[in-house]
Amino acid sequence: MSFFKKFSKKKEDPPLNPFLKAQGKSNGTGDAFMVDDYNRFGFCGTPAKWCIDHQQGLLAVVSTSKRIYIYGKLHTQLVIIPDCSDILHLLMCAGHLIIIDSQNTIFSYNLLRSKNFHTPSSTFYLRLRVICTSTDPSIEWVYLGMSDGTIVPWDVTRHRPGVYKIPNLYSDRMNEWKLMGYPYAPTSSRLSPVIGIQIHPKDLGLLLIAYPEGVVLFSIRSETVLKFYELEYAAGSTAATMSTKHSFRRPMVKGVHWSPCGEYFLSFYEDSSIAFWDTEKEIPVQVRNFVDSYIHTYTAMQKPAPRTDLEAIQSIIWCCREDPNSTFLLMLGGLPKESPVKGISMFSFPQTPGKQNVTTLAEHFANPSSQRFFPFIDIPSAIDMAVISTMSPYYNGAHNPRYLLMFSRSGTLSLIDLVTCEPVNLNMSLPPSLCFLAPDFRIVDFQAVRKNIWDKMEDSISLHPHYSSFSGGSPHPGYLKKLDVRNVLVTSSGLSLSLWDISRGFMNPKNCITIDFSEVMRKHLTPTAKIISVSLSSTNCEFSCADSFGRVIVCRIKDSLKPLPYQLATGIFRLDDSFAIDGIIYGQFCIDLKQGPITTNCMSDIGFVGIGYANGSLAVIDLRGPHILCNTSLSELGIERKFKSSSSAEYISSAEFVIMNLNNDGPASIHLIAVTNTGIALSFQIGMTASGYYSVTFLSYEKLGIYNVHDIIPLTESGQHAVATGAALQMVGVQSEKIYLLYIGETGVRLYSRFSKCLSTTDWSKHACYKASVIFSSVSKQMGSVACIMSNLNVYWFTLPNLSEERRARLPDDIDERMLRFGNISEDGDIVFPTIGGTELAFGCVLGMGRKMFASISCNLITKDPLTLPPRPTQSTWKWLMGGQTTYSDELNLLLGGEHRPVTKPIVGSQASGATQQTSQHNSSARTATPSGSMKEYENRRIPQQKSYFNQMSEQLTERGRMLGNVESTMDDLEEMSADWLSEIKKSVASTKKDLLISGLKSYLP
């Protein structure tokens, strides 16, 4: 009789949705039993859009599965599934997430909530299509560039368009071209769409608007166009003769970007040229491409340039360092098409010179101080990029960036350190779920280790600490299910191995052990090598990991007092890690027997490693030397001749070390039990020789009748696991207790009371078993139960020792049945299996009650007050004194929203309450440090003290007059002081002349 509780519920429930409430299932046979669904790790689908909130330190990514992932520091994560069509635009502004789909609908999600994130705060339908968007951390508005060339400001906190609207600024200009008969005038009456909007980095009232025909500098304050910037190549110039994409020597604009100082900007075009503009002039300062500069001008002495086809520029980011005057460009694309290596170009510029010398300014952009290139060799080719700022949230989020985040066409992410110009491991700086999008990411294994072993291994975390690129959000503390066991998820990226402690239900990067073997195996490195399997010792701080080229790396705790011998056996070489210090995990030596790919990697708890190869070879390594005890093959043992298999090759599919007597009637010894893919069990005895070394002897074999055995579990009569451990070595040479051998394969289960005596069997033909484990509880009256994960996403329980089916349970429906081999189930019933898409893991427990803990986890994303911002860069005081005007956020609210800008509903409700309630709310807001505590308090603080436009102008004119008066009085004082100083000088000179004259006359007197 099993310890599982039976239920009387027999009807079938609706399908299980991992993002809804827990629901149970029954398959019609046996009683209903539900699985606990704890969490999801990874990223479902591939990234499609992303945006970064530099103020809050958050990253939002849209997947092809129509899910929106919002990441913060450590394992902070929120998943939103909007009920909309394809998402075209994604923004975060003023504590809200703005989504615009293909049906021109705006969805606004309030991130200040602590729950109900899946319900949008507002929904608004637009009549036209949105082409581009733009916002700034210091405002509550999002500019929407429409397909008809107009710009609509969207009020984020009021969930409505503003009263201000910018018309199509190029319609009148194109009509003038038609009247004047210009050849480049459009022949049809089409409306040019807005393809780019950029807010001035130092003035919120200036917008740089890009149309296909040119760029416009627009002032919101005066509602006028200040300048038109249109690029036209000179006849005979390099650009005019090199490309045929443009008509009438006027290329089409593809994008714009402000310089950090706000005095210049760049625009790039369809022919891969870049134009640098001075905002005060309508002619470009410099036009260049990746190959040459001054491509827009023509001189009589100019030599014809060779024709070069350039690929299109996909993105350009104008960044600045800690000093905003020191800038650099990052360009994706624009390289020659015949270039063998693609990548990202980086142009660094020195301090920007003044505008007085136009030639010097043109040379400044023509000749960067340095130029770097990030080739797409170790990383896939990117189609989009973004920088992660480390300073202020301004300058378009490009203030002193450290990392460059790139997105490839295949859906993978790559990270480059802009300081060292080297690729960075994703789990070193990005949220854990994004590590699943690494180009060579692989889910290796899921195992359980003892807490004391994991505590010793945690000392290695300091060798590769995690640097969080995003600082937003408050991570959930999680839950601790077990006290003495740690669930370890093993992942790899190339030759970099990561061990995650997921016992609390989260992948916390602070509890991740990362070991990189790329440097220590550089002379043996194959470019495409990657780790494919890992075997952890359950009682020792050691493990073995196998790569895709048949090499096994043995990792241990560093101990200088126990070094490896100077002379090692053939096929074993030491790994010299100069960064390894005593007490941390490191790769000690590597085993390379040149046998090909590895099919079995078994690390024992008593100092042996068993390795099976795809060519049928089997090797046993003694870690005490290390020594090679056995290096044989199935053909040498005569297995292939005795049992002819229909498969093309026969190899070892599973192995386990056990201390037992094969007949359970004599003294115990160390045995290696190995099983081939055709179901042949082999027994090898490991014994001590007279010389003091271990040796391996082949004893016998047994035909099991099942195929692709993936688990060998030795059990005692009480159901306890009987694998070989250090404590069990005391039983060697002594009468052993009865040991059962449980073989679990894809086609059935076998239980043997002796090596050659089968006790019970179970077979299935419709479905295959990919993973299994013996789940034991003290409540069970027998040996426990075997939980088998079947290909139909069901969990089958079979009682021991008779292997009769006990009950079934249904796994979550989003688990991919084709990738069940890459998951695992632990002895405590915890499961980790990939979901549909292959880049996400489902973490749960088969011994559950249908709980869904991740669906009820609350998450605080907004931990910084949106009103507490660093001062936004503004223009210099001298320009302000000379009459320059700067538009601030309060003025922008007045200009775009009008004097009667409505208040939000929570504010209306709070105004209707009494004075006592208002006083208590004011006191509570003073005590609250973060805006996430109360939505009403935050909305109350968002109300600006609105003043009329003319009052603000009069205040500014008064302030400017006062400061000018102070300057005038200072100049008057300086003039008076100069006059006094000049008078004193004149008196001194006169007295000196008088003294010289008198002294000269005295020399002639007698």
How does pLDDT run across 278-298, given as a tens digit for each residue?
999 999 999 999 988 898 888
pLDDT at res. 100: 95
pLDDT at res. 924: 39
Q: Would you list the DSSP string of 320-340?
A: E-SSTTSEEEEEEE--BTT-S
CA distance 448 to 831: 11
Six token digits for residue 990 = 């006169």
Span 575-583, mean pLDDT? 80
Higher pLDDT, 871 or 58: 58
Six token digits for residue 8 = 């009387």
CA distance 752 to 858: 49
CATH at residue 154: 2.130.10.10
pLDDT at res. 898: 86
- Kindly report the backbone phi and psi dihedral angles of residue 241, in degrees, each rounded to the nearest multiple of 5, phi listed first: -95, -15
Segments forming the whole domain that contains residue 162: 42-403
Six token digits for residue 498 = 């990561």
Residue 620 DSSP one-character state: E
pLDDT in tens, 493-551: 888 899 999 988 888 888 888 888 888 877 666 667 889 999 999 888 899 999 989 99
Distance of CA 234 to the CA centre of its chain: 46
pLDDT at res. 919: 35
Q: Work out the burial of residue 936: count CB atoms within 10 Å of its CB; fewer than 13 is exposed, 13-18 middle, 19 or more buried.
A: middle
Is there a domain that residue 237 lies in? yes
Six token digits for residue 263 = 């005095």
Q: Judge whether 696 and 686 are in contact, CB under 8 Å.
A: yes
What percentage of the chain reaches a pLDDT higher than 90? 35
301-310's contacts with Cβ under 8 Å and 24+ in sequence apart are: 302/236, 302/238, 304/241, 305/238, 305/241, 305/242, 307/241, 307/242, 308/242, 308/336, 309/336, 309/337, 309/338, 310/243, 310/271, 310/272, 310/334, 310/335, 310/336, 310/337
3-state helix, strand, coil in the chain (%, to 5): 20, 35, 45
Is there a domain that residue 850 lies in? no
Residue 747 predicted with pLDDT over 90: yes
Residue 940 predicted with pLDDT over 60: no
User: What is the identity of the amino acid at 645?
Assistant: S
CA atoms within 13 A on the CB side of 25: 17
Is there a domain that residue 201 lies in? yes
Residue 595 predicted with pLDDT over 80: yes
pLDDT at res. 935: 39
CA distance 570 to 590: 11
Is there a domain that residue 632 lies in? no
Domain count of the fold of the chain: 1
Higher pLDDT, 558 or 860: 558
pLDDT at res. 308: 79
User: What is the identity of the amino acid at 171?
Assistant: S
pLDDT in tens, 444-480: 899 888 888 888 888 777 767 778 888 888 887 777 6
Is there a domain that residue 123 lies in? yes
Q: Judge whether 701 and 681 are in contact, CB under 8 Å.
A: yes
Residue 943 predicted with pLDDT over 60: no
User: What is the identity of the amino acid at 599?
Assistant: T
CA distance 36 to 558: 39
Strand 830-834 and strand 748-754: pairing?
unpaired
- First-to-last alpha carbon distance for the chain, in angstroms, is 145
Is there a domain that residue 750 lies in? no
Mean of the per-residue pLDDT values of the chain: 82
pLDDT in tens, 254-266: 999 999 988 899 9
* 998: confidence class by pLDDT, cuts 50, 70, 90: low
Is there a domain that residue 523 lies in? no
pLDDT in tens, 177-221: 888 888 888 877 778 899 999 999 999 999 999 999 999 999 998
Six token digits for residue 499 = 């061990």
CA distance 285 to 402: 30
* 907: confidence class by pLDDT, cuts 50, 70, 90: very low
CA distance 285 to 147: 30
Distance of CA 961 to the CA centre of its chain: 52
Span 693-710, mean pLDDT? 91
Span 292-313, mean pLDDT? 81
pLDDT at res. 972: 62
Mind spelling out the 3-state secondary structure of 882-912? Answer: CCCCCCCHHHHHHHHHCCCCCCCHHHHHHHH
Six token digits for residue 877 = 């005081």
What percentage of the chain reaches a pLDDT higher than 70? 82
CA distance 936 to 648: 70
Query: What would you measure as the largest C-alpha separation in the chain, in angstroms?
Result: 148
Six token digits for residue 896 = 């775009």
Span 752-771, mean pLDDT? 91
Q: Would you list the DSSP string of 27-53?
A: -SSS-----EEEEEEE-SS-EEEEEEE
Residue 25 predicted with pLDDT over 80: no
Distances in whole angstroms, Cα of residue 821 to Cα of each of 39, 123, 731, 834, 909: 20, 43, 35, 9, 56
Strands of 206-210's sheet in order across: 196-199, 206-210, 215-219, 224-229
Span 109-114, mean pLDDT? 82
Is there a domain that residue 47 lies in? yes
